[in-house]
Chain A
């Protein structure tokens, strides 16, 4: 068997290449790797040639077909959206939840419901602001804390580092809300040969994501425009607005999205997943519809949970029109294609897709 790889390989192949997503999968499983804000580093070489850190990383070798098999038990039929059972529009019934959330409030409503019903006993969520602009991943045990975590984030926090810390303390029956790279890493952890508390995560709600900004670049940019401690909320209104709105105590500031695109993490350019394809359920916006979410049910467990939630009157649903579905599929496909292009630009080799391992058949679709 081929020898595994360890933290020095992780440093060489991922961290130093700007490929780290700061998902936190490698953090808090040993004393050597630390994260501050969205920056992960190997502080000191641990000396081991093989490590969990390398195996768990969403930017080390990831065999999509194998993961499909281990998570869903079968290969995918939809190359753009990944395995799913159903896709529809959804909205939280509770208007307070809707009001606090970015779109339809489905994630907050479902998380609260999962905690209420004992589906999960804790949830790893992300608070949009913890001090100057940086979101913080938190472990939530009371449903009253869920709404504090409502709203979108445009900087990634190390959610899995928080999860690792929680499982180390013996927590299980955890719900996790994460972006695609975090969900991917979580599934890699769960299907790895290594011992990991990640198997204690029982419900995975994935978010749609097109990119995240690097904290350093973006905060320096914003600092020139506004007192960071005054920032209350950041929003990107749906297309075609192409703007970012920063709400502060002293009023809103708007600027063109083109201005912030240069702070997109380089690793987002090689991301092959817009819709959190390995989650139990995935939730995102519906383009052009402000108060509703797109809800993708992917696993049987997700399906059962959503059915219960519907019955309990937590969410309303309605069908997603075909044109909107086609649009979503198109957007996801473009992201994948761009990722493959970006990877090939990096490797300068048509066969070398870095971390991504696709079946020959799948690969053909994006080349």
Chain B
């Protein structure tokens, strides 16, 4: 049994941040989870899908984040608790709905987890999603550690339900993807049934709704004033304090300790960052003359704090604020304890023991002296390599300076040497075909370069279809190449509408890309990119034609295949295996000697090491007792 299902309140377990968020949702009795995969949020819905049957949760991979939020909102309207999780870009996708559901309000608790990716480690942009909370007048919580990730998520459902508003939780990569201690809470008994009542319309009396929304936000502020997620540590009457939130909390503590400033510098940690608990904060600023604000990416807290200080200037007097605006901390990239320590040291006139500014360059130089530079590349056997080679060849043969507009997926690295520098634009999901639409209509201005839009299969369903329809009705000269590798590969092979299975691994109907194209009325061909010379010829031929055309390069990601093979997991039935009584003399672990089979000392039986086993199954055919058994592919 995994930690997600563990019914041992008070027990401390190690959890990934995303798992802690999922566990918090489970402890809140979440009923419905809809999401689109995106790093670093993916493991939240994945975790919930894994225990969906155990806790009677409906879990789905939606076609995109907008649909996910809409579907989850329906569950909320029907009185259920629902969660959507997405990476920062996903918030943009669903923002249109978000900017109206705030006005209509909701019923059952609805939590939107926005997992930001500072430094864009796995993203096409760096974005601070917290501004959406301020923009949409919605409550925002920022967990600072793993325990808070769980506890805040649970509380977010209560806040949401109480206010009748979606509640946003902001995570970041370092929280979502690292692991820490989490003390488990109780698993609830779920009793909700779904029933829709009432009216949820945004647009009937918008101004009045907007005014009511502002009132709800004031209510949220009241709620936040007493939240246990806001607290202060440090000397009683510190003149200098750090005000921080989210990941900044641990970085700040470490920096203060590293500089030996525990007795002088206090830390005011805010968990409810929108709306700010103003009274609570003001109470902690009575003796303060200087503040350093530590947060990750945008100066969101900093700006809101400055507004508060301006409003309270009569009470508080002048307070110096250090942070992004003052230049002490960057408003981009990941935060870390060194950056905070350096800021602190420079403000306080201290010598920092943190690493010097050139550390990274020096480390790089040292490493490069004996490690060759390795550019991002496709896996061995990756179909994208063949597809991009075919595209490159066809464009070169065509000779009209044709180019590729790129999109979001594994193939994005085709902008570099892995894809022979073919991709010339990359923006958001579906952005490639959208741009190609425009290029394809520039002929009257002397434009004669052919344009190829590449797009992954998952991206096709997510965001490319409206642009393809647009290309059709406006007869734009564009060749779209769908790089169909059979799943959402980059985020870990989640299924999509073409995959034939759902989030829980059950069979599902498929929506064929070529049928969508045919329905739209564009010419479509399906080819295997590994048949490379045919692929080149087809792309070349299609480049000679006008209007919208689609080539589907279809070949399964070999990692998906490998994963499916791995899913064929073997185990030793320790009842059927009778150990040394068998007479086989431990054939499997001793004679056949596969490292995937070990001898279980405790049970005195054979055992499969699931980490090492590749699922070849040969041992199962050799065991004289038939004790090595294949687990069902999906179970």
Q: Measuring CB to CB, which residues of chain A are less than 8 angstroms from any residue of chain B?
A: 34-37, 39-44, 216, 219-220
B515 within 8 A of partner (CB): no
Known contacts: A36-B394, A216-B544. The answer to whether A41 contacts B536 by CB under 8 A is no
List, in ascending order, chain A residues with CB within 8 A of B544's CB: 216, 219-220
- Which of B393, B537, B541 lies in contact with A43, CB distance below 8 A? B393
Question: Is the pair B420, A36 in contact by a Cβ cutoff of 8 Å?
Answer: no
Taking a contact as CB atoms under 8 Å apart, the answer to whether A43 and B392 are in contact is: yes
> Across the interface, which residues of B come within 8 angstroms of A44, CB to CB?
392, 396, 420
Nearest-neighbour CB distance to chain A for B257, whole angstroms, equals: 55
Collect the chain A residues with CB atoms within 8 Å of residue B584's CB: none
29 A-B pairs with CB atoms under 8 Å apart are: A34-B393, A34-B396, A34-B533, A34-B536, A35-B397, A36-B394, A36-B397, A36-B537, A36-B540, A36-B541, A37-B537, A37-B540, A37-B541, A40-B397, A41-B393, A41-B396, A41-B397, A41-B399, A42-B396, A43-B392, A43-B393, A43-B396, A43-B397, A44-B392, A44-B396, A44-B420, A216-B544, A219-B544, A220-B544
Interface residues on chain B, number (Cβ under 8 Å):
14
Q: Given contacts A40-B397, A43-B397, could you give 14 more A-B pairs where the C-beta distance is less than 8 Å?
A: A34-B396, A34-B397, A34-B533, A36-B394, A39-B398, A39-B399, A41-B397, A41-B399, A42-B396, A43-B392, A43-B393, A43-B396, A216-B544, A220-B544
In the A-B complex, the 8 residue pairs with the smallest Cβ-Cβ separation, listed nearest first, are A41-B397, A36-B540, A41-B396, A43-B393, A43-B396, A39-B397, A36-B397, A36-B537
CA distance A112 to B579 in the complex (A): 75
Q: Which residues of B contact A37 (CB under 8 A)?
A: 537, 540-541
CB contact under 8 A between A36 and B536, given known A44-B420, A216-B544: yes
Scan B515-545; emit 1 where CB is below 8 A from any A CB, else 0.
0000000000000000001001100110010
Q: Which residues of B contact A (CB under 8 A)?
A: 392-394, 396-399, 420, 533, 536-537, 540-541, 544
Chain B residues closer than 8 Å to A216, beta-carbon distance:
544
Instruction: Please give me the residue from chain A that is nearest to B398 by CB atom.
Output: A39
A28 CB, nearest partner CB in chain B, Å: 10
Q: How far is the CA of A219 from the CA of B397 in the complex (A)?
A: 17
Q: Give complex CA distance A36, B399 in Å.
A: 12
Q: How many A-B residue pairs have CB under 8 A?
A: 35
B residues near A220, Cβ cutoff 8 Å: 544
Kindly list chain A residues whose C-beta atoms are within 8 Å of the C-beta of B537: 36-37
> Per a CB cutoff under 8 Å, which of A39, A42, A219 touches B540?
A39
Closest B residue to A39 using CB positions: B397
Least CB distance, B443 to chain A, in whole angstroms: 15
Query: A147 CA to B540 CA in the complex, in Å?
Result: 30
Minimum CB distance partner of A220 in chain B: B544
Task: Specify which chain A residues have a CB less than 8 angstroms from the CB of B392 in the assembled complex.
Answer: 43-44
- Chain B residues with Cβ below 8 Å from A40 are 397
Interface centre among B398, B541, B544 (most CB of A within 10 A): B544
| Residues of chain B with a CB closer than 8 A to A43's CB | 392-393, 396-397
Counting chain B CB atoms within 10 Å of each CB, the highest count among A40, A41, A42 belongs to A41
Q: Would you give the shortest CB distance from B525 to chain A, in whole angstroms?
A: 13
CB A8 to nearest CB in B, in angstroms, measures 13
In whole angstroms, what is the CA distance A35 to B397 when docked?
A: 7
Please, how many angstroms separate the alpha-carbon atoms of A231 and B618 in the complex? 57
Cα distance A168–B449 in the bound complex, in angstroms: 36
Q: How far is the CA of A233 from the CA of B394 in the complex (A)?
A: 28
Q: How many Å from the CB of A206 to the closest CB on chain B? A: 28
For A42, list chain B residues within 8 Å (CB): 396
Bound CA–CA A34/B396 (angstroms)? 9
Residue of B nearest to A35 (CB): B397
Closest residue of A by beta carbon distance from B420: A44
CB distance from A289 to the nearest CB of B (A): 39
How far does the alpha carbon of A219 sit from the alpha carbon of B541 in the complex, in Å?
11
Docked Cα-Cα span, A237 to B56, in Å, equals: 80
Docked CA distance A44–B392 (Å): 9
Rounded to whole angstroms, the CA-CA distance of A190 and B397 in the bound complex is: 27
Q: Which chain A residues lie closer than 8 Å to B399 at the CB level?
A: 39, 41
In the assembled complex, how far is the CB of residue A30 from the closest CB belonging to chain B, in whole angstroms? 13
Of the listed residues B397, B420, B541, the one surrounded by the most CB atoms of chain A closer than 10 A to its CB is B397
Interface centre among A36, A39, A43, A44 (most CB of B within 10 A): A36
CA distance A105 to B392 in the complex (A): 42
Distance between Cα atoms of A344 and B392 in the complex (Å):
35
What separation, in Å, do the CA atoms of A39 and B543 have in the docked complex? 13
Tell me which residues across on chain B come within 8 A of A35, comparing CB atoms: 397
B397: chain A residues at CB < 8 Å are 34-36, 39-41, 43
Nearest CB in chain A: distance from B534 CB, A: 10
Complex alpha-carbon distance, A14 and B541, angstroms: 23
Please name all residues of chain B whose beta carbon is closer than 8 Å to the beta carbon of A34 when the two chains form the complex.
393, 396-397, 533, 536
- Compute how far the CA of A35 lies from the CA of B420 in the bound complex, rounded to whole angstroms: 19
Measured between beta carbons, the chain A residues less than 8 angstroms from B536 are 34, 36
**A20 → chain B, closest Cβ, in Å?**
10
Considering the chains assembled together, what is the distance between the CA atoms of A220 and B541 in angstroms? 12
Minimal beta-carbon separation of B419 from chain A (angstroms)? 13
B394 to chain A, nearest CB (A): 7
- Determine the distance from Cα of A181 to Cα of B541 in the docked complex, in whole angstroms: 25
A36: which B residues are within 8 A, CB to CB? Answer: 394, 397, 536-537, 540-541
| A residues near B394, Cβ cutoff 8 Å | 36
Hey, which chain A residues are within 8 Å of B420, CB to CB?
A: 44
Please measure, in the bound complex, the distance between the C-alpha atom of A219 and the C-alpha atom of B394, giving whole angstroms.
Answer: 18
Q: CA separation between A71 and B536, bound complex, in Å? A: 37
Closest to B538 in A: A36
Instruction: Give CA–CA (A35, B540) in the complex, Å.
Output: 10
Q: How far is the CB of B404 from chain A (nearest CB, A)?
A: 15
In the complex formed, the residue of B with least CB distance to A15 is B399
Interface centre among A34, A40, A42, A220 (most CB of B within 10 A): A34
CA of A40 to CA of B392, assembled, Å: 14
Q: How far is the CA of A35 from the CA of B533 in the complex (A)?
A: 10
Chain A residues within 8 Å of B396, by CB: 34, 41-44
Distance between Cα atoms of A216 and B397 in the complex (Å)? 12
B540 — nearest CB in chain A belongs to which residue? A36
Give the CA-CA distance A44 to B396 in the complex, in Å. 9
Among A35, A39, A40, A220, the most chain B Cβ lie within 10 Å of the Cβ of: A39
A45 nearest CB across to chain B (Å): 11
Report the bound CA distance from A41 to B420 in whole Å. 16
CA distance A36 to B543 in the complex (A): 12
Nearest A residue to B389, CB-CB = A43
The minimal Cβ–Cβ distance linking A162 to chain B, given in whole angstroms, is 13
Q: Compute how far the CA of A218 lies from the CA of B392 in the bound complex, rounded to whole angstroms.
A: 25
Residues of chain A within 8 A (CB-CB) of B540 are 36-37, 39
Closest B residue to A16 by beta carbon equals: B399
| Residue ID in chain A nearest B544 by CB atoms | A216
Query: A67 to B394, alpha carbons, bound, how many Å?
Result: 35
Tell me, in angstroms, the Cα distance from A216 to B541 when the chains sit together. Answer: 10
Q: Which residues does chain A contribute within 8 Å of B393, judged by CB atoms? A: 34, 41, 43
Kindly report which residue of chain A lies nearest to residue B539, judged by CB atoms.
A36
Question: Smallest CB–CB gap between A133 and chain B, Å?
Answer: 11
Bound Cα distance from A179 to B540, whole angstroms: 25
CA distance A40 to B399 in the complex (A): 9
Q: How far, in Å, is B26 (CB) from chain A's closest CB?
A: 53
